Chain A
Amino acid sequence: MSEFSPKHYFRPETASEASQTLARYKDRSIVIGGGTVIYELAQRGLLSDVEALVDLTRLSLDQVKDGEKFLSIGANVSLSYLQESAALREGRLACIGDALKEIRPIQVKNLATVGGAVSSCIPFFDLPVALASVGANVELNGPHAVRSVPILEFQRDFLQPDLREGEFVSAVLIPRQMASRASAFSKFALTGDDWATVNCACSLEIAKGIIREARIVFGAIASKPLLAERCGAALMNRRAEAAAIPKAIETLDGELGEPISDHRASSSYRKRVAKLLLQTTLERAFERGGG
């Protein structure tokens, strides 16, 4: 039988009740955010063993909070709520605003949650790439403890989040100092509302016009977002201006390896697009950073 036919739908009132429920049903339970990926996986017959859906709506995880160390985005925050949030105004965390603009259509963005976007572990998504470029961590609530894991570790592989028994994502945490970075995100897609053929995000620490640190991340290249470390290193201590870009692009031949090849694009096409996107993304970030 490949039908999706969960028997139970739980709406726990507390985090520990949620963890206990997930622990009780083990692999036969999943958290439901907006349900948009769940629906698609269910249609493909991939969730036939799920017996229980756990809905976190009652846990008040629907706020964006500006804390002392982190900007905390609750797992149940919808993508459209995040896009409208004050935390992203006045150019703060611009790469995240860019990514949300590129996620279409609105009917999906109104349902989809931040928790679902990061836990799906689908490498063509936009938000995880932008989050990785600003060093976001995923906060996990378990039966015994709360832990926090860098998003690039949390997303282990295609459809494989690092979720232990009874754990769920409660928030995504962005270190406060990242809010002042110059950042940008760009996406190349075949249509206005398609998943990315390639996407790219960068965040740059710029002091007096000089790049002090650069985090460059690509999506739709590998089975999870790829942090291009050599590319970032090639930008270090360079002036934040166009002349710094060619050296960064050169690193991509080696660093991107053999990108995914599928019905959207071949591996070599993706590599060419990635180079162009890096150019656009850096130029945009330089403009914003006053470089």
Chain B
Amino acid sequence: MERVRINVNEIDHEVEVEPWMTLNFVLREKLALTGTKKGCDTGGCGACTVLLDGRAVYSCMTYAMKAEGRRVTTIEGLTGDGNLDRIQTAYAEHYALQCGYCTPGFIMSTKALFDANPDPLEEEIKEALVGNLCRCTGYAKILEATLSMKQKRKGRT
């Protein structure tokens, strides 16, 4: 067991971590941040996606030790001021979810994309979301919601 410092959603945490513990385990079981889901647990469904220093990673296969001294952003970090952020708003407006289990993962992948590239092409959006599976929506609404963010930006500029 080692005490490890991890910054989650702008707050520094010190957590006791074993080398085999994953970031998903630490977030959900030690920090009670259950917005991050666990689906397949083998890398593929994307429900566990969080940002590590701003980049999308699967928390189910990220060892928690790898997050030492780094910045983690989870879905809970998007609503710091109590309001939905613009990706969440777009999902709600476009009904881009049904059961919602995949949604936090999709939103985190989308955040990583838009933070790095505010005006992505449709192909770039699809590429960024390849690692997220949804078994309900059929993806059309998700893509619509994501494209709408891009169009809104365009409308303003």
Which A residues fall within an 8 A CB radius of B? 4-9, 11, 32, 34-36, 38-40, 42-43, 53, 55, 80, 104-108, 110-111, 192-193
Contact = CB atoms under 8 A, between A and B. Distances in A.
Interface residues of B, number: 30
Contact of A5 (B20, B63, B66, B131): B20
B2 interface: yes
B65 A107 contact: no
Query: Interface majority SS on B: helix, strand, loop or mixed?
Result: mixed
A186 B104 CA distance: 33
Given A104-B127, A107-B49, 13 more contacts: A5-B20, A36-B43, A36-B61, A39-B42, A55-B65, A104-B131, A105-B46, A105-B130, A105-B132, A106-B128, A107-B58, A110-B56, A110-B57
Contacts of A7: 19
Contacts of B42: 39-40, 43
B102 interface: no
B80 to A, nearest CB: 23
Nearest to A57: B66
B36 interface: no
A108 B2 CA distance: 26
Given A6-B20, A107-B49, A107-B58, A55 B66 contact: yes
Contact of A110 (B2, B55, B63, B132): B55
Contacts, number: 80
Contacts of B65: 9, 53, 55
A111 B49 CA distance: 12
Contacts of A38: 63
Contacts of B148: none
B72 interface: no
Interface string B126-148: 01101110000000000000000
B130 A106 contact: yes
Contacts of B127: 104, 106
B63 A32 contact: yes
A110 B61 CA distance: 12
Nearest to A55: B65
Contacts of A6: 19-20
Nearest to A111: B57
A9 B68 CA distance: 12
B62 interface: yes
B74 interface: no
B6 interface: no
B109 interface: yes
Contacts of A5: 18, 20
Contacts of B49: 107
A106 B49 CA distance: 11
B2 A9 contact: yes
The 5 residue pairs across chains A and B that have the minimum distance between CB atoms: A105-B131, A9-B19, A39-B61, A110-B55, A6-B19
Contact of B131 (A9, A39, A40, A193): A193
Contacts of A106: 55-56, 109, 112, 127-128, 130-131
B2 A111 contact: no
B75 interface: no
Contacts of A104: 127, 130-131
B20 A4 contact: yes
A5 B58 CA distance: 20
A278 to B, nearest CB: 26
Q: Which of B60, B61, B66, B109 has the most CB of A within 10 A?
A: B61
A53 B18 CA distance: 11
A50 to B, nearest CB: 9
B131 A35 contact: no
A172 to B, nearest CB: 21
